[in-house]
Amino acid sequence: MDQSFLLMLSNLLQLHNHLDPTSSLLSDTYSPPASTMSSASSPTSLLASSTAAPLLFFTIASVLSYLATTASSRPSSSPSSLPAAAASDPNSEFSVAAFRALSTEHIWAMEAPLRDAQWRSSYGLSYPVFTTVVDKLKPYIAQSNLSLPSDYAVAMVLSRLTHGLSAQTLASRYSLDPYLISKITNMVTRLLATKLYPEFIKIPVGQRRLLDSTRAFEELTSLPNLCGAIDATALKLRRIPSDQNPAAYLCRHGYPAVLLQVVADHKKVFWDVCVKAPGGSDDAAHLRDSTLYDRLISEDIVWDRVMNVRGHPVRPYIVGDWCFPLLSFLITPFTWNGTGTPAQNEFDIALMKGRKVVEEAIGLLKGRWKILQDLNVGLNHAPQTIVACCVLHNLCQIAREPEPELWKEPEECGPPPRLLESEKSSCYHGESMRQALADDLYQRLPR
C-alpha cells in the first residue's frame, strides 16, 4: 500500500485520539443563540446524531483530499513527501490530512528554513511560534469543550487572519460549517485579545525596558528620553449593520472603517493598543477616549527617568503627528510644511524619524494579517480581531520573524486638533519642553 496513504491513516488515528469520543462534533459548537438561528446554517442530521461522527467526517474529508491529490500528480512513496504534495495544491493545503501531516512529529524531520517558510505561508508565522501560541491557548480552548484539537482550531483561525479568508471560504476548505468557523474564530481571537494581551502588550514602566527604548530612540533621532511613537489607522469594514449610522463609520479615505490607535517602541512592538472609535472620528478624539490618555493625563503612569535639557525637566514622552494634541507627554511637530525656524525644522525632521517606527509597525501589521485590509467579521467582533492581530504581531516581532512587505498607508492630512480647556496646562508644559528639545538638538548639530 502507498506509504503516504498509510501516513494519512496514521494521522487520522492521532486526530481521533484528540477528539472527544463521548460527544458529537456539533453538539456544543453548532448551536447558535436563538436570536441568530435564522441566519446560521443548521447542522446536518448525520453529523449531529452519532458519537462516531467526528471520525467518520474527518475520514471522508481526508480520503477525498487524498484521492484529489493523487489524481492530479502521483506523490513520492516517501512519507516526507506528503507535506510538499499537500502544499502544491491550494485546496489540499488547507485540508485536514495536510494539516495533520504537517503538525505531527514529521515536521521536525524537515529542514528548519523549509519547514518554517511553509508554515508562514499557511499560518503567518513559523512552526515554533505557532506551537507557542497553541501551548498558551490550549488550557482555555480545552475549557470550551470544543471537539477539535487545539492546534487544528488555532491553525484554522491563523489561516483566516493571514489570508483574509471569509468564514464561507475557510469552511469549504476545511469541510466544516461556516457557523462553526465563525464560532472558532471568535473564541480564538477573544482568547488572544484577553488572555495573551497582558503578556505581550505592556507599557514600558520597568526601568530596564524604558532605558533600552529611550536609548534606542535617541540613537535613531538624537532626541533624549523619547520612549514611543503613536499613530492611528483606519481599518476597512466590509459591512456596517443596518442599525448603525453609516456616516459615523466613513473614514477620511472614503470607506467605512474603525480606528486603531497604537503606540510602538523602537523594535516596532506595540506597547499600547486601543480600538474604540468608528472611522469617522479623528485621531485626537480617539486618543482622548482611550485608557492610555486617562492614565497619562492623570499621571497614573509614573516614569521616574527625568532628564534636564537646557534647565527644563524632561520626562519620558511619546511622539505623534500634527493630528494629535501637543501635551506634556505627547510631542508633535512645530509645523507640517517646514515653515518654522531652523531649530524647529531640525527638530521636526528628528521627530518624524521616530514616528516612522510606528508607521512601519502598522505597515507590518497589515502586511502580516491581511484580514485587517478588509475586515470580513461582524462589527461586534472587529475590535477583538484587531487586538488579536496586534498580539500576534508582537509575538512575531519578539521572535524576530522575517518582516513581510509593508502595507502602504494612504497619505494623511488635516488641521491640528482643538485644544480642550482641561489640556491647557499640559499643552503649556509640552510647548516649553518641545522648544527646549529643539534648541538643544540644534546646538548639538555639526555646523
pLDDT digits (tens, 9 = 90+) for 93-121: 445 555 555 555 566 667 888 888 888 98
Residue 26 scores a pLDDT above 50: no
CA distance 133 to 153: 11
Q: How confident is the model at residue 257 (pLDDT cuts 50, 70, 90)?
A: very high
Residue 66 scores a pLDDT above 90: no
Residue 222 is predicted with a pLDDT of 97
pLDDT digits (tens, 9 = 90+) for 166-218: 989 988 887 888 888 899 999 999 999 999 999 999 999 878 889 999 999 99
Which residue matches cell numbers 555639526? 446
Residue 30 scores a pLDDT above 50: no
Average pLDDT of every residue of the chain: 80
How many CB atoms are located within 10 Å of the residue 260 CB? 27
Residue 352 is predicted with a pLDDT of 95
Q: How confident is the model at residue 337 (pLDDT cuts 50, 70, 90)?
A: confident
CA angle 119, 357, 387 (to 5 degrees): 55
Out of 66-75, 325-334, 402-411, least confident range: 66-75
- The pTM of this model reads 0.77
129: phi then psi, degrees, rounded to nearest 5? -70, -40
CA distance 175 to 160: 14
Q: How confident is the model at residue 303 (pLDDT cuts 50, 70, 90)?
A: confident
Residue 413 is predicted with a pLDDT of 65
Residue 103 is predicted with a pLDDT of 53
CA angle 117, 118, 123 (to 5 degrees): 100
pLDDT digits (tens, 9 = 90+) for 424-434: 999 999 999 99
Out of 76-90, 118-132, 171-185, 213-227, least confident range: 76-90
Residue 259 scores a pLDDT above 50: yes
pLDDT digits (tens, 9 = 90+) for 38-61: 333 333 332 233 334 444 444 444
Could you tell me the CA-to-CA distances from 46 to 16, 80, 167, 172 in Å, in that order?
18, 35, 22, 18
CA distance 110 to 101: 12
Residue 414 is predicted with a pLDDT of 67
Q: Fill in the amino acid letter for 147.
A: S
Q: Which residues pair with 278 in a beta bridge?
A: 258
pLDDT digits (tens, 9 = 90+) for 374-422: 999 999 999 999 999 999 999 999 999 999 889 887 776 667 899 999 9
The sign of the CA dihedral 208, 222, 352, 328 is positive
Residues of the chain with pLDDT > 90, as a percent, come to: 54
Residue 83 scores a pLDDT above 70: no
Residue 331 is predicted with a pLDDT of 98
| Mean pLDDT (whole number) for 270-286 | 95
| Mean pLDDT (whole number) for 84-100 | 44
17: phi then psi, degrees, rounded to nearest 5? -65, -25
CA angle 9, 15, 17 (to 5 degrees): 110
Residue 241 is predicted with a pLDDT of 85
